[in-house]
Copies of this chain bind each other. A is one copy, B any other.
């Protein structure tokens, strides 16, 4: 049986995007066919596809769908940019699509149509989206290698705490933080993953546990509030999470709850690592204070899984992300190598072309 895939383009120039609907996991493996850019916008908004790199890839394919219907690349990109505010890979991918389009319209390098024609444009855009997807795959593989090298003295059977989902479901490839885990497993380290369930939407329980089970990686599910306890019990050798946006100084926005595990790792003397491709860095902002934080609906908490679990009209604070300051991060694992110590200088060195 084919392993479920996260997202792929099917059917050539007039094709469409097929996405695994992650809101239905782990109970059901259901694919969504996105045939319009609106379908992609909705899929991103409602988290059918999530994870910063995967959002970028999905948005790139979304641009292809948008121009199929005759809209301009700018119009389509502006629209897709409104789907989610925090993950910078979204804006990065849209920018790449804009640039590809402007290159193509000015000087088409391939395809049968006349310069600037729709056929040439859609060809160029699809080629660019596929390139973004393929590069993301390669970035995941590179992060896996660099991360496993960094953890070369990881003890056999050691524990890794992670938060949210950072595997194949979150990227175009094998993952960010989980890719490091998969590589440690290939190197015979038998990592045991402690997966925080990741309230309110339970990406850790629903997605990470599902991916780890599929790959036969030992894993234990915990409520987010158990992180301190398993650290205190000495079960955790490293914490690794992904990132949604990293500022020039290394401050990292990631799924709400990341700041807490980073601060607890500090208290309990455990290294805290972030794994993210260079596309997750946003050098236009100096510190995490400037990263916009998406606020989500109260109902995600008060009636998350069908039951009313808080009084009617309860006031709720539901930020989707928090920002972990650079000083709490032991190292950032990127596809271009390790950022450590985490500061503006080291970020600049690692990201310089």
Copies of this chain, whole number = 2
Residues of chain B contacted by A316 (CB below 8 angstroms) = 220-222
- A302, B221: Cβ atoms under 8 Å? yes
CA distance A319 to B235 in the complex (A): 14
- B318, A225: Cβ atoms under 8 Å? no
- B307, A220: Cβ atoms under 8 Å? no
Chain A: residues with Cβ within 8 Å of the partner, total of 58
Cross-chain contact of A223 among B206, B222, B259, B301 (Cβ < 8 A)? B301
Residues of chain B contacted by A304 (CB below 8 angstroms) = 305
Q: Is A219 in contact with chain B by the CB < 8 A criterion? A: yes
Which segment, of A127-135, A143-151, A262-270, faces chain B? A262-270
Cross-chain contact of A311 among B163, B210, B307, B312 (Cβ < 8 A)? B210
A176: min CB distance to chain B, Å: 19
CA distance A219 to B298 in the complex (A): 14
Residues of chain B contacted by A229 (CB below 8 angstroms) = 256, 259-260, 319, 322
- A232, B259: Cβ atoms under 8 Å? yes
Residues of chain B contacted by A317 (CB below 8 angstroms) = 194, 220-222, 226, 230
Residues of chain B contacted by A198 (CB below 8 angstroms) = 225
- B226, A302: Cβ atoms under 8 Å? no
Within 8 A of B (CB), among A1-38: 26-27
With A310-B206, A315-B219: A225-B305 Cβ-Cβ less than 8 Å: no
Q: Across the two chains, which residue of chain B brings its CB closest to A266?
A: B267
Cross-chain contact of A302 among B205, B219, B230, B311 (Cβ < 8 A)? B205
With A197-B199, A223-B301, A229-B322: A213-B259 Cβ-Cβ less than 8 Å: no
Residues of chain B contacted by A163 (CB below 8 angstroms) = 225
A66: min CB distance to chain B, Å: 34
A243: min CB distance to chain B, Å: 16
Residues of chain B contacted by A322 (CB below 8 angstroms) = 226, 228-229, 232
Cross-chain contact of A202 among B221, B267, B309 (Cβ < 8 A)? B309
- B224, A199: Cβ atoms under 8 Å? yes
Within 8 A of B (CB), among A274-311: 298, 301-302, 304-311
- B263, A228: Cβ atoms under 8 Å? yes
Residues of chain B contacted by A264 (CB below 8 angstroms) = 260, 263-264
Q: Is A257 in contact with chain B by the CB < 8 A criterion? A: yes
Within 8 A of B (CB), among A195-217: 196-200, 202, 205-206, 209-210, 213
With A209-B311, A309-B305: A319-B226 Cβ-Cβ less than 8 Å: yes
CA distance A210 to B260 in the complex (A): 26
Within 8 A of B (CB), among A168-201: 194, 196-200
Cross-chain contact of A196 among B200, B202, B225, B310 (Cβ < 8 A)? B225
A295: min CB distance to chain B, Å: 12
CA distance A106 to B120 in the complex (A): 101
A14: min CB distance to chain B, Å: 37
Q: Can you name 11 extra interface pairs (CB under 8 A) apart from A213-B311, A221-B298?
A: A26-B312, A199-B224, A213-B314, A219-B314, A222-B317, A226-B317, A228-B257, A229-B256, A229-B260, A263-B264, A267-B267
Q: Top 9 nearest A-B pairs by Cβ distance?
A: A225-B257, A305-B305, A228-B260, A199-B223, A224-B225, A205-B310, A229-B322, A26-B311, A228-B259
